[in-house]
Structure 1
Amino acid sequence: MPKFAANLSMLFTEEAFFDRFDAAAKAGFKGVEYLSPYDHAAADIKARLDANGLTQVLFNLPAGDWGAGERGIACHPDRVEEFRRGVDTAIEYATVLGCKQVNCLAGIKPESVSDAEAHGTLVDNLRFAAEKLGENGILLIAEPINTRDIPGFFLNYSAQALALFDEAGSNNLKLQYDIYHMQIMEGDLAPTIEQHLARIAHIQIADNPGRHEPGTGEINYPFLFAHLDRLGYAGWVGCEYKPLAGTREGLGWLDNLR
């Protein structure tokens, strides 16, 4: 069975942020991920991780003003210095939290920026971040996201992401494969995962439609979980879904796997 991490930005959200760590551990999760740690002191988060025996699996590089609708700044030519400062901040947090991988959100392309300029900026930023993170023993990952949930997001397909990684030319840059996003954008989930397994460092899950827990939609998750086991996938699977009727009420899919 894969190793599952609770996404605390989506699960147990009826609890205060720090209480979600306790709730995740009580529900049987061994790892956690979330959008961003930067509103809290790293030492305080580390204390809660340690108290619950949890692994910090993943968080994002600083992604701009989330409340204002920004979803990453890595493709923004006028935000390069901000992006680079964010890499330094992420390293500080990852070091304290013992987090071995950090995700880069490409962002929504500004209307005033050409595709070519956004592409070049993203490649340069990925190259910079991968090198800087690698010097500190941290892997950089990046994920394609569907254009239905985030219109204008600049990175949308597996092949597109891998081509960008090749252009960046770093061996410290891998794919975060979000099954929900890729079901919407390209389908063909099991063959794609198998073909690119060596370049996939992290997987996230939600069902479609609705982005709810496995078993609520069209994706055959029992098959995919068994497929990951057959392939020998050793990474984490992040549970980044919106519970249909409460987090605890919707964990039957996980209980059935144990």
Structure 2
Amino acid sequence: MRRRNFIKNLSLSGAIASIAGGASVSAFAKVNKPSNTFNLDYAPHFGMFKGHAGEDLIDQLKFMADQGFRSLEDNGLLGRPIDVQNKIGENLEKLGMRMGVFVVDGGDNWKVSLTTGKKEFVDTFVKTCRDSVEAAKRVNAKWATVVPGFFERNLPMGIQTGNVIEALKRGAEVFEPHGLTMVLEPLSDTPELFLRYSDQSYAICKAVGSPSCKILYDVYHMQKNEGNLISNMEKCWNEIAYIQIGDNPGRKEPGTGEINYLKVFEYIDSKGFEGILGMEHGNALPGIDGEKALIEAYRKADSFKS
């Protein structure tokens, strides 16, 4: 096993905290926290700590747990072989960790535009939702990311929105019996995409009217598209089921850009959030030193209760 005294190699301060209150959503079930855990439940992704842990996915997962992270995010889970999915799930359970989002895309979600209302696109989406249920069972996942696809210039905005709502209702019918929630992610980096704003996502979730259709609020994308982060999160809070992190500009760890993550995390904690915050960003610096700096950045941004 290639864990190589990871704790010894990192001179990082610990943080001991507890999250108060129970959760009304089963996906927010509490997990035991190690002594060096964070106040909030941040989820790294594979590759983020391979300087310390090497290329092996399970060694990376164990390193994450050693550092006090309690969850994993793996956008590409659906494309991994079934035996690898099973292995990830088994080790998450052993380590007392949760699974964050994976992407419902079948490898090509950008080309399946639910905005068009085309039957073949909707059928592909529903099939991928069914495949996602099976993958979710292997890793005990509770959330899966959905992107409705490209803006359709030949259709009025209201028609596109109606098409998206109808398709998402079909997806919700697949997910609801299994306790799996699709989380809609408004994005910024590809301007041709249909879903871009938190209020737009909120209206769609309300129209779908299912506990299996909620918002993935990516702080990086929303800072770029609309700003006013805490106020906009507050307006949409009862439809937000999952949060992702990335500073702007650069899409790196907290503290590398303009976002005051100390205040953002303090707000999220004040709402009693017991879900997962996916670390959807790159490392600002390369190698082991960059990985140490990333963990220290989270210790600092997470210190709102110290």
TM-score in terms of structure 1 length? 0.87
Distance 1:44 1:83, change over 3 A: same
Please identify, of 116-125 and 183-192, the stretch whose mean Cα deviation from structure 2 is larger. Answer: 116-125
Aligned to 1:135, what secondary structure does the other structure show?
Answer: helix
**Inter-partner Cα distance in structure 2 for 1:62 and 1:174:** 17
Q: 1:40 corresponds to which residue?
A: 81
Match of 1:16 among 55, 65, 76: 55
Aligned ranges for residues 55-204 of structure 1 at < 5 Å? Answer: 55-65=98-108, 70=110, 73-75=113-115, 77=118, 78-109=120-151, 115=157, 118-146=160-188, 149-204=189-244
Following TM superposition, by how much is the alpha carbon of 1:255 offset from its aligned partner in structure 2, in angstroms?
Answer: 2.5
Cα deviations across residues 160-219 of structure 1 (Å, max 9, x unaligned)?
111112222323321111111000111111111222222111111110000011001110
Q: Is the 8 A contact 1:63 1:73 kept in 2?
A: no
Following TM superposition, by how much is the alpha carbon of 1:129 offset from its aligned partner in structure 2, in angstroms?
Answer: 1.1
Match of 2:97 among 42, 54, 66: 54
Match of 1:212 among 227, 233, 252: 252
Choose between structure 1 and 2: higher helix proportion: 2
Please identify, of 109-118 and 212-221, the stretch whose mean Cα deviation from structure 2 is larger. Answer: 109-118
**Inter-partner Cα distance in structure 2 for 1:192 and 1:129:** 26
**Inter-partner Cα distance in structure 2 for 1:195 and 1:94:** 30
Q: Is the 8 A contact 1:176 1:204 kept in 2?
A: yes
Following TM superposition, by how much is the alpha carbon of 1:229 offset from its aligned partner in structure 2, in angstroms?
Answer: 1.9
Distance 1:17 1:128, change over 3 A: farther
> What is the aligned-residue RMSD (CA, Å)?
2.3
Q: 1:7 corresponds to which residue?
A: 45
5+ unaligned residues in a row in structure 2: which ranges? 1-38
Question: Aligned pairs, how many?
Answer: 252
Following TM superposition, by how much is the alpha carbon of 1:238 offset from its aligned partner in structure 2, in angstroms?
Answer: 1.1
**Inter-partner Cα distance in structure 2 for 1:17 and 1:124:** 41
Q: Is the 8 A contact 2:179 2:212 kept in 1?
A: no
Q: Does 1:233 align with 2:273?
A: yes
Q: 2:299 corresponds to which residue?
A: 255
TM-score in terms of structure 2 length? 0.75
**Inter-partner Cα distance in structure 2 for 1:17 and 1:114:** 48
Q: Is the 8 A contact 1:36 1:62 kept in 2?
A: no
**Inter-partner Cα distance in structure 2 for 1:252 and 1:199:** 31
Cα deviations across residues 67-103 of structure 1 (Å, max 9, x unaligned)?
xxx3764445342211111011000011121111212
Q: Which has the larger radius of gyration?
A: 2
Aligned to 2:101, what secondary structure does the other structure show?
Answer: strand
Aligned to 1:202, what secondary structure does the other structure show?
Answer: strand
Aligned-residue identity in percent: 29
Aligned to 1:196, what secondary structure does the other structure show?
Answer: helix
Distance 1:82 1:71, change over 3 A: closer
Please identify, of 94-103 and 117-126, the stretch whose mean Cα deviation from structure 2 is larger. Answer: 117-126
**Inter-partner Cα distance in structure 2 for 1:184 and 1:151:** 11
Following TM superposition, by how much is the alpha carbon of 1:17 offset from its aligned partner in structure 2, in angstroms?
Answer: 6.0
